[in-house]
Amino acid sequence: MCGIFGYIGKSEAVPFIVEGLKKLEYRGYDSAGVATYEHGRIFVSKCEGKIAELEELLTDKPIGGEMGIGHTRWATHGSPSDVNSHPHTSCDGKIALVHNGIIENYLELRRKLSEEGHKFKSTTDTEVIVHLVEKYYKGDLEKAMRQALQEVTGSYAIAAICEQEPGKIVCARKGSPLIVGLSDNEAFISSDIPAIIKYTSKVIYLEDEEVATIQRKKIQISTLDGKPVKRKPTLISWDPESAEKGGYAHFMLKEIHEQPGAIRKTIAHRVNVDSAKVHFDELNLEPKEIRHFNRIIFTACGTSWHAALVGEYLMERYAKIPVEVEYAAEFRYREPIVDDKTLLIAVSQSGETADTLGAVWEAKARGAKVISICNVVGSSLARESHGVIYTDAGPEIGVASTKAFTTQLAVIYLLTVLFGQVRKTLPQAKAIQMINNLMEIPDKMERVLAKEADVEKLSEKFYNSTNALYLGRGKGFPVALEGALKLKEVSYIHAEGYPAAEMKHGPIALIDKNMPVVVLAMHGRRYDKILGNIEEVKARGGIVIAIASEGDQMVKEKADEIIYIPASTEAVSPMLAVVPLQLFAYYIAVKRGCHVDQPRNLAKSVTVE
């Protein structure tokens, strides 16, 4: 779960690489480094810390060259330190290599290589690869890379350069993403699109177990066992501006504000409002298959798991099909009972989350049909699934997921309408009404965003809290979980999301006059019950912050603080209710001086188990 960026062209490589690494910093930010080739030699500069520290180092001791590779790290094996930073080099310093992933058999390889005389400098798993490449190097870096990779188990995206072969970067991937960007006179490699979109929209996705040799005007791809691969470049439609902060203080804030637009874009081309017809281009599910399934399993991690949980409530209610929602890592190792009547729906912003990919492999191996809901076009998850629905959220850079969540909700909602229609559990009039309700969401969301200043003010009262509880019922429960996750990940305040009714079975013991309790108290079928839960909190001295439907007086009388959101049906309300919770977490984090876009210990896409 690191970031890799490489450049080969006619300009100085370091500025491109540093700029690229800054864009990738969300993937990991505990150390960084760069290696370049110039005048027959390889130069390496690396250090513990963020890219800013690497930049300082490079200002003090510049390194030149028109090709190079860079890395920003999220430590797995070996603590963050100068010596554990990438690039790692061979014993003779003639090969430099960066890696994203985990080499599972590194201890055994390290022992063997040490016995053969290789001297290790770091405690990383990565360093074994560069020594293996050195061992096999006989004047052909690509060949040596191929031989080395035959011996490693685990996951990798790799880029390497070699003193004896100027003008070439050799890359490979298995289980971790790597993209090659092509321009007229230069080429780039990157872990993701936002880092290269500024330079080119013409990209080639490397597939698992492929090796590529990149030259300024040429790319040559082959499989790990040497078979040539022909692949046409893909044109990326993302706007380069979408990968910039655009005047906002943080990506998280920008992405919160982008939600109305992102939802409009996600739904616009998929629905016919008058006929309530829903269409997904790459779903690859026949109506008879939709009728054939007797069960849906959603699988995901983190925020995407919360979106999936909303899916359970929607699908069971409107498509009348049993649904389970599984944490991907638990599902894959549990010997799950799955067959061809099971539809697995994997939800992921990045499409690269290792646990989610593992769950997909497991389900496929057991005969399930797999579709994914994913934001990154061409991601591993999209490619591993039988069908895919892309959320059109655009690049999400802030580590805390925001617009990916609400667009996932929109897609799951539309999928529910489609399933309900095909399975004949959703009358046409109801389907039309549901589509109309969804169409109103972007405008209503804008009205919620207009309350930003109120939420900011509220955050002033609570930014010194040490704990918080988030309660919800029905579709408000996943929103409570999501609100709590947002707060803990960006502000480091301990927060728990709970089904409001479960509070009395334990967490109620936590409530005292210092405990802020955020309650999702919008109108809906469980409204009276939630009012009762508010009373229970108040009776124990807790501070209630309610999210309520516009015009509600009952909640206002009971709660200490209230944020109104426009009235909506329960089915679409999560998309609105989560917005003030995102803003609340954001402003609390800012007031606490936290690094909002890159919270400690986290990384945007978790490509390790």
Instruction: Kindly list the residues in this chain that would bind ligand M6R in the complex (CB under 6 A).
Output: 301-304, 348-350, 353, 356, 399-401, 485, 489, 602, 605-606
Of the residues 444, 486, 558, 604, only one is catalytic, namely 604
Find the shortest distance in angstroms from Cβ 240 to ligand M6R: 22
Element (H, E) at 488: helix 476-491
Find the shortest distance in angstroms from Cβ 490 to ligand M6R: 8
Q: Which of 242, 237, 192 is nearest to 605 (CA)?
A: 192
Q: Measure the N-to-C terminal CA separation of the chain; round to a whole number of Å.
A: 10
Of the residues 2, 47, 374, 594, only one is catalytic, namely 2
Torsion angles phi and psi, residue 387, rounded to 5 = -145, 160
CA 246 to chain CA centroid, nearest Å = 21
Residue length of the chain: 609
Taking the C-alpha atoms of residue 238 and residue 181, their distance in angstroms, rounded to an integer, is 14
Find the shortest distance in angstroms from Cβ 130 to ligand M6R: 29
3-state class percentages of the chain: helix first, strand second, coil last, to nearest 5 = 40, 25, 35
Around Cβ 119, how many Cβ atoms within 10 Å?
9
- Report the residue number, 6 or 395, with the smaller CB distance to ligand M6R: 395
- Report the residue number, 349 or 406, with the smaller CB distance to ligand M6R: 349
- Report the residue number, 271 or 370, with the smaller CB distance to ligand M6R: 370
Taking the C-alpha atoms of residue 367 and residue 297, their distance in angstroms, rounded to an integer, is 13
- Report the residue number, 75 or 485, with the smaller CB distance to ligand M6R: 485
Find the shortest distance in angstroms from Cβ 140 to ligand M6R: 37
Taking the C-alpha atoms of residue 265 and residue 407, their distance in angstroms, rounded to an integer, is 9
Hey, what's the torsion of the CAs at 290, 295, 300, 306, to 10 degrees? Answer: 100
Taking the C-alpha atoms of residue 50 and residue 21, their distance in angstroms, rounded to an integer, is 10
Is the alpha carbon torsion for 405, 565, 443, 589 positive or negative? negative
> Strand pairing partners for 156?
101, 175
Q: Is 2 a catalytic residue?
A: yes
Taking the C-alpha atoms of residue 76 and residue 372, their distance in angstroms, rounded to an integer, is 27
- Report the residue number, 302 or 542, with the smaller CB distance to ligand M6R: 302
Residue nearest to ligand M6R according to CB distances in the complex:
302
Q: 573-591 and 441-449 helices cross at what angle (nearest 10)?
A: 30
Q: Is 198 a catalytic residue?
A: no
- Report the residue number, 484 or 559, with the smaller CB distance to ligand M6R: 484
Find the shortest distance in angstroms from Cβ 547 to ligand M6R: 19
Find the shortest distance in angstroms from Cβ 231 to ligand M6R: 25
Active site residues: 2, 604
